[in-house]
Amino acid sequence: MDKEVVEVQQPCSINPKSFKNNENGTDCTKACPTRKLSVPNGKKGSSEPISDPNFKRPSTSISSAKRSVKDNPYMGRYRVVRTLGRGNFAKVKLAVHMTTDCEVAVKVIDKTQLNEPGLKKLFREVKVMKTLSHPNIVQLYEVIESERHVYLVMECAQKGELFEHLVSYGRMREKDARIKFRQIVSALQYCHSKKIVHRDLKAENLLLDTNFDMKIADFGFSNFYGQGKKLDTFCGSPPYAAPELFQGKNYTGPEVDVWSLGVILYTLVSGSLPFDAKDLKDLREKVLRGKYRVPFYLTTDCEQLLKKMLVLSPDKRESLESIMNDKWMNIGFENEPLRPYIEPHSDFRDPVRISESSLPLGVFRKLMRQLEYHF
């Protein structure tokens, strides 16, 4: 069967200046690695809904590649299972809390490799995550800081990335996409109600838990907005970036997330990206034109919702509150219309909390030594 291949560029600077050669004389568009979203051409929604308990997840998901934990090291109250991933200054470990048997993801950041702006960005990410408590946002359970490292103990989404699901199973049927998209919109509206903008929404940063519910992850580019101030950092993943970012314009915040939501919805229901190109320059031109192919199988209601989000003028994009009330969003949920999330009074976010204040000083120092040894 013929396949339609969409090249997805990984996050890189989308500052308009980067379309030209940078200070090192390299082409930034070629320097960006790509991940390919390859789906069968014209493939219908998966015959195995993503909510099916018998759904077989991709081999890259967390629990599918577990190795024996017989000889795994321990760190305090956690048993380390394996390394999930690594970057230049950080790595992510899968660990299990020994008392609750709860799986967690521990992001280990080497502070000594970060400059002052990098440290500020890290602590802003922590501040943002500590502010948020929503069932469709990856929860930050614990922050542990040592002389060299910062450890972020977070909720573990065992079913992996939405991106990997789309690669393996193609587009979703609209009724299945609606369930997932409602969860994403609810979580993002909650962020905006806290004056937080994500700025890096994409299929790779949307995870699935054991119940196949969505979890927004990776708040590394997030920031607080409001009080009449404009943001001026041009960041995120180019295929999901709003036109004003490519133009180098300042922005308030929520409007760039709404554009990314439009790209995500299109990807859910089509299995491809609305704007794709071989390099960043061509991608920029396509985004600034704002023209995309509408698949013949999309319902009119879904098409109309896309048009409310993929609007070139940021002032004309719908707010998340308006999107919540859209007809397509609530088909099949007439008795459960989407409403802004209200936080419970009790704090259930910390089932595996370990903090310096809750441990004797000697025990905490021993824990720190174990952390440094194993990471």
Is residue 181 a part of any domain in this protein? Answer: yes
Same domain, 366 and 322: no
Q: Please check whether residues 21 and 148 belong to one and the same domain.
A: no
Q: Is residue 141 located within the same domain as residue 229?
A: no
Judgement on whether residues 295 and 312 belong to the same structural domain of the protein: yes
Specify the DSSP class assigned to residue 204. Answer: G
239/322 same-domain check: yes
Half-sphere exposure of 240 (CA within 13 A, CB side): 27
- Residue 59, domain member (yes or no): no
Flag whether 60 is in a domain: no
Residue 326 sits in the same domain as residue 352 = no
Which domain, by its residues, includes 117?
Answer: 65-156+345-374
Query: What distance in Å separates the CA atoms of residue 71 and residue 348, rounded to the nearest whole number?
Result: 32
Do 258 and 323 fall within a single domain? Answer: yes
pLDDT in tens, the chain (375 residues): 333 333 333 333 344 444 433 333 333 333 344 455 655 444 444 433 333 333 333 333 333 334 433 445 776 678 889 898 887 788 999 999 988 989 999 999 999 999 999 999 999 999 999 999 999 999 999 998 888 889 899 999 988 899 999 999 999 999 999 999 999 999 999 999 999 999 999 999 999 999 999 999 999 999 999 988 899 998 889 999 999 999 999 999 999 999 999 999 999 999 999 999 999 999 999 999 999 999 999 999 999 999 999 999 999 999 999 999 999 999 999 999 999 999 887 555 544 444 444 444 444 444 455 555 444
CATH code of the domain containing 9: 1.10.510.10
Q: Identify the active-site residue in 27, 71, 101, 200.
A: 200
In a domain, 336, yes or no: no
Please report, for the domain that includes residue 112, its CATH number.
3.30.200.20
Tell me how far apart the alpha carbons of residues 219 and 200 are, in angstroms, rounded to a whole number: 8
Provide the domain count of the chain.
2
Domain assignment of residue 337, yes or no: no
Q: Is residue 339 part of a domain?
A: no
According to DSSP, residue 59 is labeled: T
Tell me, yes or no, whether 273 lies in a domain: yes
Tell me whether residue 335 is in a domain.
Answer: no
Can you read off the two tokens belonging to residue 248? 């180098």
Residue 35, judged by CB atoms within 10 A of its CB (0-12, 13-18, 19+), counts as middle
Residue 316 labeled ligand binder? no
- Give whole-number Cα distances, 160 to 157, 163, 168, 203, 293, in Å: 6, 9, 12, 11, 29
C-alpha pair distances (Å), 126 with each of 91, 220, 228, 349, 360:
16, 9, 24, 15, 25
Q: Supply the pTM of this predicted model.
A: 0.77
Question: What local confidence, expressed as pLDDT, does residue 147 receive?
Answer: 87
Same domain, 245 and 316: yes
Residue linked to tokens 């501040």: 127
- For residue 146, the model assigns a pLDDT of 84
- 40 and 143 co-located in one domain: no
Residues 264 and 349 in one domain: no
Same domain (yes/no): 264, 369: no
The DSSP line for 131-175 is: H---TTB--EEEEEE-SSEEEEEEE--TTEEHHHHHHHH-PPPHH
Query: Catalytic: 232?
Result: no
pLDDT value at residue 76: 66
> Cβ(11)–Cβ(38) under 8 Å?
no
Residue 79 has what pLDDT? Answer: 87
For helices 300-309 and 254-270, the axis angle rounded to 10 degrees is 150
Are 87 and 211 within one domain?
Answer: no
Where does residue 134 rank: exposed (0-12), middle (13-18), buried (19+ CB within 10 A)? Answer: buried
